[in-house]
Structure 1
Amino acid sequence: MITRFLTDVRVKFNPFSPRSKPARLFLSLIPPNARADGMKVETQMLPRTSKEPSTLGVKFKDGKEMNLDLDKMRITEVMEEVDRHSRLLARKEELTGN
């Protein structure tokens, strides 16, 4: 997963729910030095009895924001969505020569 274009990650999930697996896996894919490199990572743990769906909010360097409902998605689909825009930003960066 391409994380160098992410500036802000917000995850809300119930850690005891089996449907929160994509949220947990996404957090595990973020590199350990991401916060030191300027990425803001916010996690909100919901109580065990919560029926609220797991959500993921991602903000990119170009200002685009993605809000994904993780209850209806698999981790591969989440990675595809995030990587699609990251590859577009990488291509733009490559073409401008930065």
Structure 2
Amino acid sequence: MITRFLTDVRVTFNPFSLRSKPARLFLSLIPPNARADGMKIESKMLPRTSKEPASLGLKFKDGKEMKLDLSAMRITQVVEEVDRHSRSLARKEELSGN
């Protein structure tokens, strides 16, 4: 997963729910030095009895915001959505010579 274009990650999930697995896996895919590189990461754990669905909010360096409902997605779909925009940003960066 391409994470160098992410500036802000917000995850809300119930750690005891089976539908929260993509949220937990997404957090595990973020590199350990991401905060040191300037990424803001917020994770909110819901109580065990909560029926609120897991959600993921992302902000990219170009200002685009992405909000994903993780209760209906698999981790492969989440990574695919994030990488799709990250690849376009990498292409723009490469063409501009940075």
1:53 corresponding residue in structure 2: 53
1:22 aligned partner, one-letter code: P
Counterpart Cα distance in 2 of 1:19 and 1:32: 24
Give the superposed CA RMSD.
Answer: 0.2
Q: Alpha-carbon deviation of 1:15? A: 0.2
Question: Number of residue pairs matched?
Answer: 98
Q: Alpha-carbon deviation of 1:93? A: 0.1
Deviations 1:69-98 (A, max 9, x none): 000000000000000000000000000000
Counterpart Cα distance in 1 of 2:8 and 2:74: 21
Which segments of 5 or more consecutive residues in structure 2 lack a partner in the other structure? none
1:34 corresponding residue in structure 2: 34
1:11 aligns with 2:11: yes
1:74 aligns with 2:79: no
Percentage of pairs with the same residue: 85
2:95 corresponding residue in structure 1: 95
* TM-score computed with the length of structure 2 as normaliser: 1.00
Give runs of ≥4 in structure 1 deviating > 2 Å.
none
Counterpart Cα distance in 1 of 2:66 and 2:9: 10
Counterpart Cα distance in 2 of 1:66 and 1:54: 14
* TM-score computed with the length of structure 1 as normaliser: 1.00
